[in-house]
Every structure is written in structure tokens, then in C-alpha cells.
């Protein structure tokens, strides 16, 4: 059955990106909502903090936090592994391997009768999630047209929030819709085994769907499979193989590969060179660093504590508010979907960074008042919701998109791998630091995030080139054609004259038609 380019794009979105990033959000949310179920405590007494006291409780809490965070550590190593295997196996096989790993890990988790098995399961799930979070955006970006690449990749952020809302990692028991539903079973291990088993269905969908979507034409071309790449590009673009559009895009891909024909080595990430690899690598690392240190995890993971302590609400009401806050975050993520290819990446990053910084500043102020000051605490809740409006606009999908756009062709997978591993490293750090920081620093902890958030607009304004509307091959040329960092940024903001672009296309099309005509005449003479 022949599928149109739009159908293939939709399939990649719904059958590859959706399950991959729902798994991302689901597993990043963790298992916090299961930690006080009686059957769970009976199965894993080593991390039973409900019935522990004093020093024993402190020790078990530390073990519990470490076990829960093993998924994040697994994701760190899964991302790093893609630097080596991503360009060897290709995009499809890497995603298939990652999906199989998540399935194995989920089976180990939901069938656990001991802490060692559960820990191994969490780590294996993390390996798969880390590989998916690295590879899927690269695959999407390499298959997309320049004009809608932003929307095609930024949906990943929407899918993350779906997983997170379904299985949010709470600081208190049962703070998510899935856990809350199965908690009604009250007794028996099904109340915690079923929430751990459900994502296996998502993994199976992903495994079954991988080969329904074409392999990346750019990866195929980089491995010398030019005709296969041309055929896949033809399917994705809904154009005949011999059409001008396919010939032009394939020519651009081949020219880019020719200009970077030297074998890619990981140490090239730390060299400026003609393609400014180090500069581009630092852009990727910084944007993923800011994604974690903008305060997103702080608010998502600890909103229940903020609501309980801020308004002295009962735990059930605080949980409902927390769920509502994350649902609001999900709805807000659609803002980026409709604006990323209209206003560009830079404006979204700067707007998001400025808004998050202002919200963190406000939270530092409102939380500095005594708990008895109800207006200040109500304002805190409002700013938590407002913060969750700003986060997804620039830092829940757009960061993954940008990494794939600025990375050089020959280093795209290693650069995506290391920058995503950087994301997971800081994710782990934030999760481990935050409980202590909230206790020891109180409202001052928000000041740290306010300062870091304020750095985002300045960094983006001076150092981040705009990528909207440019093909990946155009981005390669942009970095190569300008000597200085500021020259690259300035050139990216200078729109191309539409008339010049039109004339260039007309000229290129005439040259292509003449070439085809000459080739046809040559064939006729030989016949």
C-alpha cells in the first residue's frame, strides 16, 4: 500500500513520537504515587518509609530516592550510547532497540518480587527512554520539510505532558490519575503492578510501528545508499523520484555530505573548525541545561507541597490542584505548536525565559511572607499556574527541535546524544537537590531559578541563530559562510529577498530541465 507524504508524517507523529514521548513523560514522573501502597511496602520493605522512624526512616528515604532515580541515570547512559550506535544502526533500528529495552524494563518492574529486580527494571527502562529522547527528534527533523519542521518536532513536548499528567511523579502518594484509579483496588499487588505494566502496551505499539515509517534519507545518504535515500525522500515529499524538487533536495544533502566528508570523530565536538562544531555543541548543551534549571522540574514535582504548605489545604484538595496545574501545562504546550513556525525559535525561547524568571521572582517574594499571609500564598498558587504557562512555550519540545537543527550533519547524532545526556544529568541533580534545598533555603531557592531564567533571553539574543524556515542544509551553509558567532546570528535574522529566491529557483529549474532534456537526447541517439 502506497502512503502519501502527509500520511507518513502523521504516522511518524502518532506511531513513533507519541508513544516515545508519552513513555518519556510517564517514566520521568516516576513511581512516587505507589510508594505508600500496603502491598508495595510488603514487597519492598527496604524502602518502606511509612512505618519507619528516626534514623531508619532517613536511611530508607535515601535508598528510596536513589532507587526511583535509577530511571534517570539509565536515561543518561541510554542517551550517551546513541553517540556510538545512532549512526551505526540508523534511526529506525535505534528506536526499535530502545523500545525493546523499555519493554524489557517494564516487564521486570511489574513482575518484581525484590528490590534488586525492580532497580534493574527501572535502569533498563531508563536506557530505552534516554535513547528514544535522543533519536526520535533527530529522525523527525531529518524527515521534515523546512516550513513545518518546527510543528512536526515540537509535538514531542505535548506528548511528554500527556505522559506526565497520566503518571506524575508526586511528592505525596497517589497524585496521578492512573495511580489513583488503581489505588481503588486497595488490597493486592495489582494496585501497583498494573500502573507499572500499562506502559508495556505503549512499547509494543512502538515496536510494531517502527518499520511503517521510512528511514531518514540523510542517514541513508551518509552511508552511501543514495538511491534508497532518494526513494525515501520521494515518499516523504509526495514527489516523483525524478522531479526537480527531489533532485534539488538530494543535491543539497549530497553537497553538505561532500563538504563534511571527513569521518566524524567525537573529539570534533570540541573543535571550532570551518563548521564551528564547538560553538554549535555549546548551544545544544546550554539549551538543555536551561531546560532543567529554569524550574520546570521544581514546579512539576513539588507543586503539591507548595499548595499544602502555602494555603494549608488538605492533601486531597492539594492533589487536585496539582493535577489541574499539570493539565494546564499540557494545554499551554499547544501555544508553541501554533507559534514555533510563525514567530521562530528565538522569540519563543526569550519569551519563555523572561516569563519563567518573572514567575520565580514573584514566588520568591510571596513565599518570603509568613504562612499566615493568605493573599501572598494565594498569589503563590497563581504564579505556579502562570509559570506552567511559560515553560512549554520554549522549553518543552522546542529545545529538542533546536538541537537537531543547529547540529552539523556529520555530528548530529553525537551532538544530540551528549546534549540530551546533559539534560538527564541535570534532571537527576535537580531531583536530588530540590528536597534538601526547599527545606534549607526556603524562598531563597526560587531566587536561583529567577537568576538562571533571566540569563536565557540575553544568551539567546546574542548567541542563538534563528533556524525557522531554513533547511538543515541551509543551516550548515549559514554556519560555514560566516567567520564570527555574531555574524552567524546576524545573518540568520536577515530574511532572504523573496524575488531573489524566486529567480534562483526559476534558474535552477531551467538548468534541471535542460539537463533532463540533454540526457533524453543522448539516450535516443544511443538507441
Between 130 and 265, residue with greater pLDDT:
130
Same domain, 202 and 334: no
Asked whether residue 407 is assigned to any structural domain, the reply reads yes
Tell me the mean pLDDT in the region 49-76: 80
Q: What is the pLDDT of residues 477-497, one digit of tens each?
A: 899 998 899 999 999 998 765
Same domain, 477 and 510: no
Same domain, 517 and 487: no
pLDDT band at residue 513, thresholds of 50, 70 and 90?
low
Asked whether residue 55 is assigned to any structural domain, the reply reads yes
Same domain, 344 and 428: yes
Domain edge (last residue) among 210, 245, 279: 210
Q: Is the pLDDT score of 514 beyond 60?
A: no
pLDDT band at residue 261, thresholds of 50, 70 and 90?
low
Cα distance between the two ends of the chain: 35
Same domain, 340 and 432: yes
Between 161 and 175, residue with greater pLDDT:
161
Asked whether residue 353 is assigned to any structural domain, the reply reads yes
Q: How far is Cα 130 from Cα 47, in angstroms, rounded to an integer?
A: 25
The closest of 203, 206, 207, 225 to 216, measured between CA atoms, is 225
Tell me the mean pLDDT in the region 402-427: 92
Asked whether residue 215 is assigned to any structural domain, the reply reads no
Identify the DSSP state of 14: I
pLDDT band at residue 38, thresholds of 50, 70 and 90?
confident
Domain edge (last residue) among 190, 210, 230: 210
Asked whether residue 297 is assigned to any structural domain, the reply reads yes
Q: What is the pLDDT of residues 178-193, one digit of tens each?
A: 545 555 555 567 777 8
Q: How many domains is the chain built from?
A: 3
The closest of 366, 347, 388 to 447, measured between CA atoms, is 366
Between 523 and 110, residue with greater pLDDT:
110
Of the listed ranges 37-51, 355-369, 494-508, the one predicted with least confidence: 494-508
Asked whether residue 8 is assigned to any structural domain, the reply reads yes
Mean pLDDT, rounded, of the chain: 84
Backbone region of residue 10 per phi and psi (left: phi > 0; alpha: psi in -120 to 50; beta: other values): alpha
Q: How far is Cα 61 from Cα 67, in angstroms, rounded to an integer?
A: 10
Tell me the mean pLDDT in the region 278-303: 88
The half-sphere exposure of 9 on its side-chain side, counting CA atoms within 13 A, is: 20
Q: Is the pLDDT score of 174 beyond 50?
A: no
- What pLDDT, on a 0 to 100 scale, did the predictor assign at position 519? 54
The half-sphere exposure of 321 on its side-chain side, counting CA atoms within 13 A, is: 24
Assign residue 196 the CATH number of its domain.
1.20.1250.20
Asked whether residue 82 is assigned to any structural domain, the reply reads yes
Asked whether residue 458 is assigned to any structural domain, the reply reads yes
Tell me the mean pLDDT in the region 300-320: 67
Same domain, 480 and 508: no
Q: Is the pLDDT score of 42 beyond 90?
A: no
Same domain, 205 and 280: no
- What pLDDT, on a 0 to 100 scale, did the predictor assign at position 75? 95
Q: Which domain holds residue 323?
A: 270-493
The closest of 317, 237, 285 to 399, measured between CA atoms, is 285
Neighbours of 93 (CB within 10 A): 16
Tell me the mean pLDDT in the region 272-280: 89
Same domain, 192 and 315: no
Same domain, 355 and 396: yes
- What pLDDT, on a 0 to 100 scale, did the predictor assign at position 29? 66
- What pLDDT, on a 0 to 100 scale, did the predictor assign at position 451? 96
Domain edge (last residue) among 210, 227, 255: 210
Tell me the mean pLDDT in the region 461-470: 94
Q: How far is Cα 304 from Cα 326, in angstroms, rounded to an integer?
A: 11
In percent, the amount of the chain with pLDDT more than 90 equals: 49
The closest of 126, 124, 136 to 95, measured between CA atoms, is 136
Same domain, 57 and 71: yes
Same domain, 450 and 334: yes
Same domain, 113 and 196: yes
- What pLDDT, on a 0 to 100 scale, did the predictor assign at position 169? 43
What is the full DSSP assignment across 99-141?
HHHHHHHHHHHHT-SSHHHHHHHHHHHHHHHHHHHHHHHHHHH
Long-range contacts of 351-354 (CB under 8 A, 24+ apart): 351/390, 351/393, 351/394, 352/294, 352/390, 352/391, 352/393, 352/394, 352/395, 352/398, 352/456, 353/290, 353/294, 353/394, 353/453, 353/454, 353/455, 353/456, 353/457, 353/460, 354/453, 354/454, 354/456, 354/457
Amino acid at each position: 500500500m502506497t502512503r502519501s507524504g502527509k500520511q507518513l508524517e502523521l504516522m511518524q507523529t502518532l506511531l513513533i513520537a507519541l508513544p516515545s514521548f508519552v513513555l518519556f513523560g510517564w517514566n520521568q514522573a516516576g513511581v512516587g504515587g505507589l510508594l505508600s501502597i500496603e502491598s508495595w511496602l510488603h514487597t519492598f520493605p527496604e524502602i518502606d518509609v511509612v512505618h519507619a522512624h528516626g534514623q531508619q526512616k532517613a536511611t530508607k528515604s535515601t535508598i528510596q530516592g536513589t532507587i526511583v532515580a535509577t530511571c534517570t541515570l539509565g536515561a543518561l547512559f541510554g542517551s550517551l550510547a546513541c553517540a556510538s550506535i545512532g549512526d551505526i544502526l540508523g534511526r529506525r533500528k535505534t528506536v526499535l532497540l530502545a523500545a525493546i529495552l523499555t519493554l524489557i524494563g517494564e516487564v521486570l518492574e511489574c513482575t518484581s518480587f525484590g528490590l534488586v529486580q525492580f532497580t534493574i527494571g527501572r535502569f533498563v527502562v531508563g536506557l530505552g527512554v534516554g535513547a528514544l529522547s535522543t533519536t526520535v527528534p533527530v529522525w523527525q527533523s531529518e524527515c521534515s520539510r523546512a516550513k513545518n519542521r518546527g510543528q512536526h518536532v515540537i509535538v514531542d513536548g505535548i506528548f511528554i505532558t500527556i505522559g506526565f499528567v497520566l503518571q506524575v511523579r508526586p511528592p505525596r502518594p497517589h497524585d496521578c490519575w492512573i495511580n489513583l484509579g488503581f489505588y481503588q483496588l486497595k488490597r493486592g499487588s495489582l494496585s501497583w503492578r498494573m500502573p507499572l505494566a500499562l506502559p508495556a502496551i505503549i512499547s509494543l505499539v512502538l515496536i510494531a510501528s517502527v518499520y511503517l515509517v521510512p528511514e531518514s534519507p540523510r542517514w541513508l545518504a551518509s552511508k552511501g545508499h543514495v538511491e534508497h535515500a532518494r526513494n525515501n525522500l520521494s515518499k516523504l515529499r509526495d514527489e516523483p523520484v525524478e522531479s526537480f524538487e527531489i533532485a534539488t533536495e538530494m543535491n543539497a544533502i549530497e553537497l553538505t555530505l561532500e563538504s563534511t566528508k571527513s569521518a566524524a570523530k567525537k573529539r570534533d565536538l570540541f573543535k571550532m573548525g570551518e563548521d564551528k562544531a564547538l560553538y554549535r555543541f555549546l548551544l545544544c548543551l546550554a539549551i538543555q541545561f536551561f531546560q532543567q534549571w529554569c524550574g520546570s522540574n521544581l514546579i512539576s514535582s513539588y507543586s503539591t507541597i507548595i499548595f499544602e504548605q502555602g494555603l494549608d489545604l488538605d492533601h486531597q484538595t492539594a492533589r487536585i490542584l496539582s493535577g489541574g496545574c499539570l493539565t494546564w501545562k499540557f494545554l499551554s504546550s499547544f501555544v508553541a505548536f501554533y507559534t514555533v513556525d510563525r514567530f521562530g525559535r528565538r522569540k519563543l525561547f526569550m519569551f519563555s525565559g523572561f516569563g519563567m524568571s518573572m514567575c520565580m521572582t514573584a514566588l520568591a517574594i510571596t513565599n518570603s511572607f509568613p504562612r499566615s499571609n493568605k493573599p501572598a500564598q494565594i498569589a503563590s498558587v497563581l504564579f505556579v499556574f502562570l509559570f506552567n504557562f511559560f515553560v512549554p512555550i520554549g522549553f518543552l519540545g522546542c529545545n529538542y527541535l533546536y538541537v537537531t537543527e543547529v547540529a552539523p550533519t556529520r555530528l548530529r547524532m553525537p551532538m544530540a546524544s551528549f546534549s540530551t545526556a546533559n539534560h538527564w544529568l541535570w534532571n537527576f541533580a535537580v531531583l536530588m537537590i530540590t528536597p534538601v534545598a526547599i527545606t534549607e533555603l526556603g524562598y531563597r531557592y526560587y531566587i536561583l531559578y529567577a537568576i538562571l531564567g533571566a540569563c536565557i533571553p540575553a544568551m539567546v539574543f546574542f548567541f542563538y541563530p534563528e533556524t525557522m524556515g531554513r533547511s538543515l542544509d541551509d543551516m550548515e551553509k549559514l554556519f560555514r559562510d560566516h567567520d564570527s558567532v555574531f555574524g552567524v546570528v546576524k545573518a540568520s535574522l536577515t530574511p532572504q529577498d523573496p524575488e531573489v529566491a524566486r529567480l534562483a529557483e526559476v534558474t535552477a529549474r531551467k538548468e534541471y530541465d535542460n539537463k533532463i532534456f540533454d540526457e533524453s537526447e543522448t539516450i535516443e541517439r544511443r538507441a
